[in-house]
Amino acid sequence: MVLASSFIGYLSSFASSLPSVVEQGFIWGIMAIGLYLSYKILDFADLTVDGSFALGGITLAVLMKAGVPVGVAMLVAFGAGLLAGLVTGLLHTFLGIPAILAGILTQIALWSVNLLVSKGLANVGIDIRNQFVLVRSLTDMQKLYSILFLIGFIAAIIGLLYWFFGTEMGSAIRATGSNETMARANGINTTWMKIIALSISNGLVALSGSLSAQFQGSGDINMGKGAIVIGLAAIVIGLAIFKKAKKNFALHLVACVVGATIYYFVYQLVLSLNISTNLFKLLSAAVVAVFLGVPYLRKKINFGKWGKKNA
Amino acid sequence: MLNIENVSITFKKGTLDEKKALQNVSLTLEDGDFVTVIGGNGAGKSTLLNIIAGTLKPDEGSVSIDGKDITNIPDYKRASLLGRVFQDPRQGTAADMQIDENLALAKRRGKMHGLAWGITKAERLKYSEMLKEFDLGLENRLTANVGTLSGGQRQAVTLLMATMNSPKVLLLDEHTAALDPKTASKVLSLTDKIVKEGNLTTLMITHNMNDAIRYGNRLIMMSDGKIIFDIKGDEKMKLTVGDLLKKFEESGAEATDKMILSD
Ligand SMILES: Nc1ncnc2c1ncn2[C@@H]1O[C@H](COP(=O)(O)OP(=O)(O)OP(=O)(O)O)[C@@H](O)[C@H]1O
Ligand SMILES: [Mg+2]
């Protein structure tokens, strides 16, 4: 009897947290879309994102605290993310610093930049009771509105990206990521294409950070910690589910959002089971490692078989 | 007209591995010249093509096309003047993009990459017709990713990409070497047809002496970073593999089996 009632209690607490899970999943889905641009299209593992996510959140919080309306604050956050991506792009292309290291350097530098923006505060609160924000989670009605807004916002982002990557510039960026030799032989300035793609990518990540700050009611210096792993997890989970959508770019972006939502669903499940969330980063890293490692191992094993057959 | 003047390049200068890959090479190609290039491994053939393409910069000397000095122009900026097909079929195309998208990129070579559509409907029709002439069954697969094509099909697509804008100079670096003999000869005759029809100024590196003799109106032989033999017109027509082997021996370079065994 006690067991049953505690189970029902558990279920209802889990169910009541679901709207917030969806909100968080959608917010991080935008982050995953940004990461998809660098990781999948440019073939560039960009560690800048941990810093640019927090940059977006803190920029928005500081501006809103000063009375700036949410729309303007988000635009500035997006611009700040663009600049962060630009820096990584310049470090990589003009100074020849390897991708991973260029990202790490910007990420580390952003830690200080974020503290400068927040005037040394680790956490900058937003008065979400009295200031208009686009995403919040205090009442069920707010949750519903937030989710509807996020669906529209994500649809607009995916629409814009779908258009952009069909243009000449977008095609040139895809070619750069796919085969740099070919791109240059066809007159594409691959240096600028990389810089543009990294900028857009980090702009989107910062935008996601700015939404996350609204959701939490504050911008936090630590909010981007491990963002790259969450983003990668979202991408690999999403693409595994949307396996059939081999070439459809828009569906791949939808997959990123679905992947992020599943990620937060599982996260919430772990929370409600009273498993220590300290372990969750370990779990996330393991998930990413498995998803990235399995295709490689499969190829290796198949190759082994092939070798034997022909011996 | 392509004009290469006194071009030299040394790799790993000042080390034990120092290699003078090109030494004072001068070469002029008239419009419509189809030049085959032969020479042993490490003779400097690819290096010469890379210097023309701009992926390598010479230590000395200059490269000009139609009188315009391009020695210091970066590779992607001079790409509009050139067409390239590489030895590795994977290098000339973007595997993750569709056939038509690859062709559309080549069509826009040398233009600004702005926010106009990357490919139009009218283009698609045209590409389909162009591919039909190749007779490789590609005209119905325009939206297939290039990564799903065979090596020969990829080389054919690259060849179309390299030639569709009538480049000032077409650079072919052993572009059939990675293909099986049947496919190789198909791609080679396709090359010959395109070059003749477009009257394209062409440099084609090959290891196959027969091909070097059969195709083109001029043949050059390289050894140790120098052009050691340059023959054209009627004299080239009369050339035999035996003559070329003799030249090789005189130069001190060794002909590889691949060159002799080819037919
Ligand atoms: N980037 C480089 N760094 C160092 N050495 C190089 C480089 N590129 C070429 N070389 C050397 O320069 C010489 C000429 O090379 P190149 O590739 O032009 O020869 P090739 O005539 O094309 O030979 P092959 O028939 O084998 O393709 C070789 O000794 C090669 O090892
Ligand atoms: Mg070579």
Query: Within a 10 A sphere around the Cβ of A152, how many other Cβ atoms?
Result: 10
In chain A, residues with a C-beta closer than 8 Å to the C-beta of B86 are 181
Domain assignment present for residue B25? The answer is: yes
Domain assignment present for residue B167? The answer is: yes
Question: In whole angstroms, what is the distance from residue A237 CA to residue A250 CA?
Answer: 16
Tokens of A185: 């032989």
DSSP code of residue B94: -
Question: In whole angstroms, what is the distance from residue A154 CA to residue A31 CA?
Answer: 11
Tokens of A292: 């990235």
Average pLDDT over every residue of A259-277: 87
Domain assignment present for residue B176? The answer is: yes
Query: Within a 10 A sphere around the Cβ of B65, how many other Cβ atoms?
Result: 20
DSSP code of residue A213: H
| A181 with B86: Cβ contact below 8 A | yes
In chain B, residues with a C-beta closer than 8 Å to the C-beta of A196 are none
pLDDT value for B261: 47
* Under-70 pLDDT residues of chain B: 253-263
Domain assignment present for residue B118? The answer is: no
Question: In whole angstroms, what is the distance from residue B238 CA to residue B219 CA?
Answer: 12
Confidence check: pLDDT of A97 > 50: yes
pLDDT value for A281: 82
**What is the SS3 assignment for B219?**
strand
In chain B, residues with a C-beta closer than 8 Å to the C-beta of A188 are 76, 105, 113
For chains A and B, CB pairs below 8 A equal 94
Q: Name the residue at shortest CA distance from atom 9 of ligand 1.
A: B47
Q: Where are the domains of chain A?
A: 19-224
Q: Which residue in B82, B95, B111 is closest to A179 by CB distance?
A: B95
Q: Output the CA B19–ligand 2 centroid distance in Å.
A: 15
Contact B233, B35 (CB under 8 A): no
Question: In whole angstroms, what is the distance from residue A116 CA to residue A108 CA?
Answer: 13
**What is the SS3 assignment for B249?**
helix
Q: Which residue in A175, A177, A247 is closest to B105 by CB distance?
A: A175
Confidence check: pLDDT of A61 > 70: yes
Strands B82-85, A218-220: pairing kind: unpaired
All residues at 6 or more sequence positions from B79 whose CB lies less than 8 Å from its CB, including other chains:
A184, A185, A186, A187, B109, B110
Please state the φ and ψ torsions of residue B202, each to the nearest 5 degrees: -135, 140
From A182, A156, A51, select the one nearest A106 (Cα to Cα).
Answer: A51
CA B31 to chain centre: 16
Contact A198, A44 (CB under 8 A): yes
pLDDT value for A279: 82
Q: Tens digit of pLDDT for each residue in A276-308?
A: 778 888 888 888 888 888 878 888 887 655 444
Give the side-chain half-sphere CA count within 13 A for A299.
5
Q: How many domains does chain B have?
A: 1
- Which residue's entry shows tokens 């981007």? A224
Average pLDDT over every residue of A155-173: 98
CATH number of the domain residue B77 falls in: 3.40.50.300
Q: Name the residue at shortest CA distance from atom 25 of ligand 1.
A: B41
Judge whether B169 is closer than 8 Å to chain A, CB to CB. Answer: no
Tokens of B172: 């072919």
Confidence check: pLDDT of A309 > 50: no
Domain assignment present for residue B116? The answer is: no
Give how far B238 is from chain A: nearest CA, Å: 36
Average pLDDT over every residue of A184-188: 98
Please state the φ and ψ torsions of residue B142, each to the nearest 5 degrees: -50, -35
Domain assignment present for residue B117? The answer is: no
pLDDT value for A14: 79
- Give the domain extent around B149: 2-110+123-261
Judge whether B95 is closer than 8 Å to chain A, CB to CB. Answer: yes
Judge whether B137 is closer than 8 Å to chain A, CB to CB. Answer: no
Domain assignment present for residue B100? The answer is: yes
Q: Output the CA B171–ligand 2 centroid distance in Å.
A: 12
